[in-house]
């Protein structure tokens, strides 16, 4: 589905979202040591859309992806997928939904079984979900290998016989062989060399068109997320800071954290050697994630626009316009300042 | 002749025709006749993908390679011949006039010593400082690298610090003995993007303050762009392009450099278009095999590329490229455009 079609479908409102997450919270630990990795996150995802999830390590983006797929069970909130609340489904019912939703991990060397041939790995989902067996399964596997740019000969080989980029293709084939609708891609290019990253990004785009896939694409790389996603969701300490269409990212992003992330992206072709700055100016320390959550906006300690209320009241996620929402008390003033 | 003397006096590091192989059943060459030099206060960015030999080069300069490594060629470090130096002299050099920082500070710092103690240990080894004077200097160094409450932090252990703070502590340790050369091996790779920018700023300011030269090794073109005066691009054990940073990044002369720069999306570029990926992957062959090692992935390859290894040839304006096609007026980007039309 093209970007225009997605937007049209979203605007006309006649298509229900494929995925609707409402107030999802994931907590680890218990009692006073409870740690909230994902804190009341809500978003909708249209069929054929790619939602990019970006944030720094520890912001909860991986936990979010796993909780959507119920690989971790959320502590609160709804995950509506194909009309069912996944958070309320039990073992057998959930297993019945599994082939509609799959995950691609960062490191294929740890997500694929080294003792299984690629053929074994790809046939397993077909067998588990009762989709195909025998010669039919082999034919489906061969087609999927061809779709990810490998040959049928790959079926008899083991993971160690592949390069990192090829192995990520195998992992993608494994995720797609049961023809899921929703695929969570967790940093799928982060462990790859730069020259190979682009191949995998291109492949994911092709496969989305070909199989009508819906992606949640999790990454710390803003340029790749912007390139691939229709919308970008920026997370900070488990909360959504901002969510907006990718094409508006550079121009219209309002949250001070999003702007900081944008300013940290350097384009090699235009970057020049940095001028030395006084060490004190670079000493801003990223705060450690507190176990006991403070009041107010979590970004406040690092924010150059913070006011007293930012430290006392949590900013709600407010819709600015259309599909752009931001969680910042001062977004109206910042938008006016940017316009001036 | 006089110019040559001047140059040698100003040269902090000169690597000449360095080849490194690892012996295991048979010898695999990982660096094939690499030459480079770094002047006083200069930063050379060494870029390349995993396995290209860039870390091996950094470690060879410090003689930190494993026992099964064979080295051939010359490494002149502050006028001394590294490959013929005895181990005692080498130990004096390491952490003294030449220091190294690594990608993962957690594996380079000692987990059972406070960071203050780790710095005073270096000071005791390489300078005359002892006791309180060493402690005071350690606190001063922690302050210099932007660690707040340095006197308290000196008593903390590595696990009590965030990733960015650990990297700062490692940098404090590295600069403790006023090195003339800092070898930084992927120092920002494990860090979050906003912290990366802080560490790059810190390195730039320290470099000016201490007038130290730097060999900055990274796979990240944009990190290299923000610190390097000159850049050397490595592919499969050889330098394939070298020159002043800005012209090389703006107008790359080697098809590999051009491909690397083209394969990353730009934050203000077109979206959801096909990225110009470099096809295939690095072949596992020995670095000294005949022909150009980039040939199997190169869109411009000619018959000659398969049989003869191109030299790292001068292409004017202080630049060099290891490609039979590269010249003062041939550029891969322009050639690709004319091939397309």
Residue A282 is predicted with a pLDDT of 41
Is there a contact between B174 and B101 (Cβ–Cβ < 8 Å)?
A: yes
Helices (H), B94-244: 105-108, 115-126, 131-144, 150-153, 163-175, 193-210, 221-225
Q: Residues B236-275: pLDDT tens digits?
A: 999 999 999 999 999 999 999 999 999 988 888 888 888 9
User: A10-24, A79-93, A170-184, B37-51: which range is least confident on average?
Assistant: A10-24
Q: Which among B146, B164, B223 is the nearest to A279, CB-wise?
A: B146
Residue A5 is predicted with a pLDDT of 53
Q: Residues A264-311: pLDDT tens digits?
A: 888 887 777 776 655 444 445 555 555 556 689 999 988 999 999 999
Residue B8 is predicted with a pLDDT of 53
Sheet arrangement for strand B69-77: B26-39, B11-24, B69-77, B80-81
Residue A288 is predicted with a pLDDT of 54
| A31 part of contact set with chain B, CB < 8 Å | no
Quick one: average pLDDT of A83-93? Answer: 93
Q: Bridge-partner residues for A214, per DSSP?
A: A182
Greater confidence, B284 or A229?
A229
Instruction: Tell if the CB–CB gap between B219 and A194 is shorter than 8 Å.
Output: yes
Task: List the single best residue of B236, B275, B331 to mutate versus A (max A Cβ within 10 A).
Answer: B275
Cα–Cα dist A77/A83, whole Å: 15
Q: Which two tokens stand for residue A132?
A: 């195909």
Task: List the single best residue of B265, B273, B294 to mutate versus A (max A Cβ within 10 A).
Answer: B265
Residue B195 is predicted with a pLDDT of 86
Sheet arrangement for strand B313-316: B98-101, B181-185, B213-218, B43-47, B230-235, B238-244, B319-321, B313-316
Q: Which among B245, B275, B297 is the nearest to A198, CB-wise?
A: B275
Mark which residues 316-335 of A lie under 8 Å from B by CB. Answer: none
Quick one: average pLDDT of A189-196? Answer: 89
Residue A268 is predicted with a pLDDT of 83
Quick one: average pLDDT of A198-203? Answer: 95
Cα–Cα dist A49/A182, whole Å: 10
Q: Which two tokens stand for residue A171?
A: 């992992």
Nearest chain A residue to B199 by CA distance is A282
φ and ψ at residue B202, rounded to 5 degrees: -60, -45
Residue spans of chain B under pLDDT 50? 1-6
CB atoms within 10 A of CB B280: 15
Query: ipTM score here?
Result: 0.84
Q: Which among A227, A264, A274 is the nearest to B194, CB-wise?
A: A264
Q: Which among A205, A260, A264 is the nearest to B196, CB-wise?
A: A264
Helices (H), B159-225: 163-175, 193-210, 221-225
| A109 part of contact set with chain B, CB < 8 Å | no
Q: Bridge-partner residues for B98, per DSSP?
A: B94, B181
Please state whether beta strands A239-245 and A231-236 pair in parallel, antiparallel, or not at all (unpaired). antiparallel
Mark which residues 236-265 of A lie under 8 Å from B by CB. Answer: 246-247, 249-250, 260-262, 264-265
Cα–Cα dist A122/A174, whole Å: 5
- Tell me the shortest Cα–Cα distance from A277 to chain B, in angstroms: 6
Cα–Cα dist A332/A325, whole Å: 12
| A160 part of contact set with chain B, CB < 8 Å | no
For A208, B252, B318, B325, B327, the CA distances from B313, given in Å and listed in that order, are 44, 14, 11, 10, 8
DSSP structure class, residue B330: B
Residue B112 is predicted with a pLDDT of 96
């Amino acid at each position: 589905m093209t970007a225009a079609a997605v937007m049209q479908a979203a605007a006309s409102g006649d298509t229900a979202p494929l995925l609707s997450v409402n107030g999802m919270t994931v907590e680890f630990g218990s009692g006073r040591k409870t740690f909230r990795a994902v804190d009341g996150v809500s978003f909708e995802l249209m069929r054929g859309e790619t939602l990019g999830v970006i944030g720094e390590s520890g912001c909860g983006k991986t936990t979010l992806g796993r909780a959507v797929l119920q690989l971790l069970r959320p502590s609160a909130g709804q995950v509506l997928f194909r009309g069912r609340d996944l958070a309320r489904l039990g073992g057998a019912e959930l297993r019945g939904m599994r082939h509609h939703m799959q995950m691609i991990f960062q490191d294929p060397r740890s997500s694929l079984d080294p003792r299984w041939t690629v053929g074994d790995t790809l046939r397993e989902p077909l067998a588990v979900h009762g989709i195909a067996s025998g010669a039919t399964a082999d034919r489906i596997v061969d087609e999927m290998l061809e779709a990810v740019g490998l040959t049928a000969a790959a079926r008899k080989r083991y993971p160690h016989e592949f390069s990192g980029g090829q192995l990520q293709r195998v992992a993608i084939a494994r995720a797609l062989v049961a023809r899921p609708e929703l695929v969570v891609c967790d940093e799928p290019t982060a462990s790859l060399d730069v020259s190979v990253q682009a191949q995998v990004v291109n492949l994911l785009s092709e496969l989305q068109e070909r199989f009508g896939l819906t992606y949640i694409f999790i990454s710390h790389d803003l340029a790749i997320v912007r390139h691939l996603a229709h919308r970008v969701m920026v997370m900070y300490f488990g909360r959504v800071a901002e969510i907006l269409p990718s094409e508006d990212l550079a121009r219209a992003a309002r949250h001070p954290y999003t702007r900081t992330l944008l300013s940290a992206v350097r384009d090699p072709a235009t970057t020049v050697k940095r001028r030395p700055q006084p060490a004190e100016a670079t000493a801003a320390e990223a705060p450690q994630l507190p176990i006991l959550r403070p009041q107010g906006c979590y970004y406040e300690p690092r924010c150059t626009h913070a006011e007293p209320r930012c430290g006392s009241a949590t900013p709600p996620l407010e819709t600015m316009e259309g599909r752009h929402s931001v969680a910042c008390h001062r977004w109206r003033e910042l938008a006016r300042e940017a316009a001036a | 002749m006089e110019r040559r003397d001047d140059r040698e006096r100003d040269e902090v590091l000169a690597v000449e025709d360095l080849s490194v192989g690892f012996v295991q059943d048979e010898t695999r060459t990982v660096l094939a006749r690499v030459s480079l030099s770094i002047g006083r206060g200069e930063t050379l960015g060494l870029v390349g993908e995993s396995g290209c030999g860039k870390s091996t080069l950094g470690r060879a300069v410090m003689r930190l390679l494993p026992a099964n490594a064979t080295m051939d060629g010359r490494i002149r470090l502050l006028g001394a011949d590294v490959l013929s130096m005895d181990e005692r002299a080498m130990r004096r050099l390491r952490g003294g006039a030449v220091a190294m920082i690594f990608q993962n500070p957690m594996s380079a710092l000692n987990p059972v010593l406070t960071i203050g103690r780790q710095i005073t240990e270096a000071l005791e080894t390489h300078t005359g400082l002892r006791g309180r004077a060493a402690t005071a200097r350690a606190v001063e160094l922690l302050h210099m690298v932007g660690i707040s409450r340095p006197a308290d932090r000196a008593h903390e252990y590595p696990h009590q610090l965030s990733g960015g703070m650990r990297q700062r502590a490692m940098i404090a340790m590295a600069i403790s003995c006023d090195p003339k050369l800092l070898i930084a091996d992927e120092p920002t790779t494990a860090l979050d993007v906003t912290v990366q920018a802080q560490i790059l700023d810190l390195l730039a300011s320290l470099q000016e303050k201490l007038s130290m030269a730097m060999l900055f090794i990274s796979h990240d073109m944009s990190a290299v762009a923000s610190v390097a005066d000159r850049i050397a691009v490595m592919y499969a054990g050889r330098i394939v392009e070298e020159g002043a940073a800005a012209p090389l990044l703006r107008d790359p002369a080697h098809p590999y450099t051009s491909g690397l720069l083209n394969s990353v999306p730009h934050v203000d570029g077109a979206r959801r278009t096909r990225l110009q990926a470099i096809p295939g992957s690095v072949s596992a062959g020995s670095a000294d095999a005949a022909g150009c090692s980039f040939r199997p992935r190169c869109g411009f390859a000619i018959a000659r590329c398969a049989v003869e290894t191109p030299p790292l040839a001068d292409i004017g304006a202080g630049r060099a490229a290891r490609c039979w096609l590269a010249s003062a007026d041939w550029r891969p980007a322009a050639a690709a455009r004319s091939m397309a039309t």
